[in-house]
Structure 1
Amino acid sequence: MMNKYRQAIFEEFEAMMGGHFIPYHIAAFMMAILTTLIFSLIMTHATVFEGKIAVIDLDATNYSTSLVESLNTSSYVEITEVYHTPLPVDKLLEHDRNIGVLYIPKGLEKAISRSELTFNIGYLADYSNLAQNGQALSNLQKIINEIAAQSSGTKIAISQGLAEDGAKAMLMPMHLVDRDLYNPTMSSTINICSAFIYFFSSILLGLTCLMLVGRLKVTNRWQNVLENDVTVLIARLIPYALIYTTAITLVTSAIVVFGQLRFSGNYFFHLPSIFMTAMAIGMMALIFSWTTNQPGEGGSRMILLVPPGFIMGGALMASGTLPDWVNTVKYCFPLTWEFEIWRDFAYRGIGLSSMIGTYGKFLMYLTVLGGILYILHYRAVQKNALISQSTKLIEKDMNSAS
């Protein structure tokens, strides 16, 4: 049996390097390296720090001008243009010119000086992209609240004979101080870049494995597959899983060494999950492409293999936005498991003892995939035996007739 495993593995290495199948050993490394370089260079942060904002200032007083200048000097907001007459907001937001418009109605300075009513300043946010205004709006609120508190604190201090700090304490008796864990600088390398490394590497692996069944049938090796145990077929995935694991580890170690990625846990404990993910993708690809007869037929089924796990796995979309049933179904896809394990090891630094349960569930998932492959293999063997038996009977009848 060991000779059959060894033969199956070497056959896949020969197919890769023979020039008649996808050269996965080259393509996997190129995909991982290019993905890392491109996304590390073009994406500095995962959020908008210098949000471009236009201002319609109908008050046009010293106080409103001072407010706009204070906003512009902060490190989170960039005031691109200021108008003192009403304008259509769409014109200021078209072509991604700005991400929002700050609207200052007339009477701001008068309302602040009298302190009779709370004065509302409007912010018209462009939410055509849900991510681009979240941080900008939060920063605007903090800055405006601080400026307003300073102005009111000075008035109260003068009227009540208090120290300015005491007046501010009356206005803001409590203040929330937040701390961003795991990704304080909102680096895109930590989440977006790492997510796409796995995504594109998995796409390439999935396409290669989806063509495997068709290639075996075209090259007349399928009969040999049916004659052997299903584990021999699964063993053919090992070369691809090893290359997948090596390529991702290579680029991950590079961006960790150069300070672009924070990896808090032990990478050696994380390493088995990459190999298991590759095997899961390969096994699911064999299941999806079992009925194909040509290598090209399998490629069309990629949409069912990798993208669902990437979308629902929490790499770029918060799992809290998904319904409960989706958060259960998503574990049918390999990348969901990998992204969950990645976040625990890389970001949170969780130890192996706390991950044994997750690894156990992942192994059960692989076992289920193996069971499905066993059923498909068994049915194909039985069908093949029936066809062979029928053929022999027909030949026997023909010989008898002659």
Structure 2
Amino acid sequence: MNVNSLRDEVRFLFSGQGMPYEKVCLMVAAVVCIVLGLMLSSNFSHDARVVVIDLDNSAYSHELTSRIDASEYMKVTAVLNTPVDPSTLFYRDQAVAVIYFPRGLEKDRYTGAENHVGVFYDNTNTAQTSDIKIALNELIGLDNAAEQGDTGSTNDSISGTIGLADRNLFNPSGSNYNVEVQGFLFFFGSMFFTFATIGMVPRLRLSHQLDKILLEGTPWDILVRLVPYGACLAVSFVFGMAILRLLGDMTFSGSLLTFLFVQVFYVLTVGTMSVLFGWTAANPGIASSRMILFIPGGFIFGGPTGPISFYPDWVVAASHLFPLTWEFHFVRDIIARGAGFADISKEFGAFLLYMAVVLILFCAKFFSARRALLKRQAQDELHRQKMQQLSLEESAAAGQAE
């Protein structure tokens, strides 16, 4: 009896009626060990983007800027010579740190007066700034040591005149409620939303509703079915953040209306991709296994599990193929950094282009399926007419024989 059960289950495993686990298990092992191993090979911030606000605009501040840019941990992407609100320079992940050189820095350095270089860190991910902090402290320490050597001082107790005054922005306490827990909220919410919608087309096919929609309807007749699921997802996001705010110490610096407005487009995009990926599945169970193709990648490379500054540029660019990557960009800007809609307009415009591509692919799939259905019906009709003609000929031949 046990042998028969085992034989029956093995037959089902390779029948194609369920998840093709014999292929999925090997694919997962290959992806984790080869692809993710290559993408996650760096474990430090390499050429993290840094913006310099240089109000001193002196030879000394230019020299410090060059030293910072020469560090393997930092890359100076912009130098500004006018006062700017540092928090605005972090929108769209443009920078990991902003370095502020005050007026009179060069003068104070050579006269021995005390002064400080200001540093503002983006603490939306506490791990991304650790290497930068060490590098900046070493740079200033070596500079002060060199200055003591130039003055000929032999008193080891003399400290440097230039120090660092740093400040952690957006998540000063380094709370997990603002990073890991919040990241899991959007990841698991998106994952179960996908589970609920990815089997929609296979379900319609099994219930014989899909053919009618293809022949008489439009792509919107399928996408409109996402509305109740999307509404539930948006409510769950707000409900989850309310819990994190009341029971934890999550910060919400932006506008809830701006956040919800963006979610409308995010939900439509993820739902469309979900329906598109599950279209060809034989049944909803097989469709569910395809969630892994476009949801987890955004969680891994979108920022909550590891700092974006750890990844090579090509990995950061490729990560935007996953919709959850865009979601985490908006979450950091709106929720953590307090950005308004105008502040995220550039990123939102790029996301609209991404959404447009997804919708075009979905419409192409819809009309391709319609053409295939019409062709199949034409072939069935032709076959029916041939069989009918053959039946008439056989009847006539039988009549002649009588």
Give the distance between the partners of 2:275 and 2:336, measured in 1 at CA: 33
Change (3 A) 1:343 1:131: closer
Q: Select which of 179, 192, 196 maps to 1:191.
A: 179
Distance in structure 2 (CA, Å) of the matches to 1:281 and 1:195:
17
Letter of the aligned partner of 2:286 in structure 1? E
CA distance in 2, matches of 1:238, 1:226: 20
1:313 equivalent in alignment to 2:302: yes
The equivalent of 2:279 in structure 1 is 290
| Aligned partners of 2:127 and 2:307 also within 8 Å | no
- Shift in Å, 1:303: 1.2
TM-superposed CA distance for 1:259, in Å, is: 5.7
Query: Over residues 66-91 of structure 1, what are the superposed CA-to-partner deviations in whole Å (9 max), with x where a residue is unaligned?
Result: xxxxxxxxxxxxxxxxxxxxxxxxxx
- 1:213–1:293 Cα contact (<8 Å) kept: no
Q: Distance in 2 between matches of 1:357 and 1:176?
A: 33
Letter in 1 for 2:372: K
Query: Which residue is equivalent to 1:180?
Result: 168
1:348 is matched with 337
Distance across 1 between alignment mates of 2:181 and 2:299: 13
Which one of the candidate residues 187, 206, 212 is aligned to 1:218? Answer: 206
C-alpha separation between the residues in 1 aligned to 2:314 and 2:234? 31
2:380 pairs, out of 367, 391, 395, with 391
Cα deviation, 1:42-75, whole Å, max 9, x if unaligned, reads: xxxxxxxxxxxxxxxxxxxxxxxxxxxxxxxxxx
Cα offset, 1:348, TM superposition = 1.2
Distance, in Å, in 2 between the alignment partners of 1:271 and 1:331 is 21
Matches within 5 A, 1:241-260: 241-258=230-247, 260=249
Of the three residues 290, 300, 319, the one matched with 2:289 is 300
Aligned to 2:166, the other structure's residue is in SS state coil
Determine if contact 2:251/2:336 at 8 Å carries over to the other structure.
yes
Q: Tell me, in whole angstroms, the C-alpha distance in 2 between the residues paired with 1:251 and 1:131.
A: 24
Contact 2:199 2:283 in 1 (8 A): yes
Shift of 1:401: 1.9
4+ long deviations beyond 4 Å: none
Letter in 1 for 2:297: P
In 2, Cα distance between equivalents of 1:321 and 1:131: 9
Gaps of 5+ in 2: 1-125, 142-153, 392-402
Cα separation, 1, equivalents of 2:164 and 2:343: 32
Q: Distance in 2 between matches of 1:190 and 1:401?
A: 73
Deviation at 1:192, TM superposition (A): 0.8
Decide whether the 8 Å contact of 2:276 with 2:362 is kept in 1: yes
Q: Secondary structure at the match of 1:249?
A: helix
Structure 1 position 255, deviation (Å) = 2.5
Whole-Å Cα distance in 2 between the matches of residues 385 and 213 of structure 1? 18
Q: Give the residue type in structure 1 aligned to 2:232.
A: I
SS at match of 1:385: helix
Q: Secondary structure at the match of 1:179?
A: strand
Instruction: Show structure 1 runs of 5+ residues with no match.
Output: 1-129, 146-158, 161-166
The question of 1:269 aligning with 2:258 is answered yes
The one-letter code matched in structure 2 to 1:368 is V
Q: Is contact 1:289-1:298 (8 Å) kept? A: yes
1:217 to partner: Cα distance: 1.4
What corresponds to 1:236 in structure 2?
A: 225
**Number of residue-to-residue matches in the alignment:** 250
CA RMSD of aligned residues (A): 2.8
Q: Output the CA distance in 2 between the equivalents of 1:218 and 1:397.
A: 29
User: Distance in 2 between the 1:382 and 1:267 partners?
Assistant: 44
CA contact (8 A) 1:210 1:286 kept: yes
How many Å apart are 1:302 and its aligned residue?
Answer: 1.5
Post-superposition shift, 1:171? 2.4
Specify the SS of the correspondent of 1:377: helix
What letter matches 1:318 in structure 2? P
Give the C-alpha shift of residue 316 in structure 1.
2.3
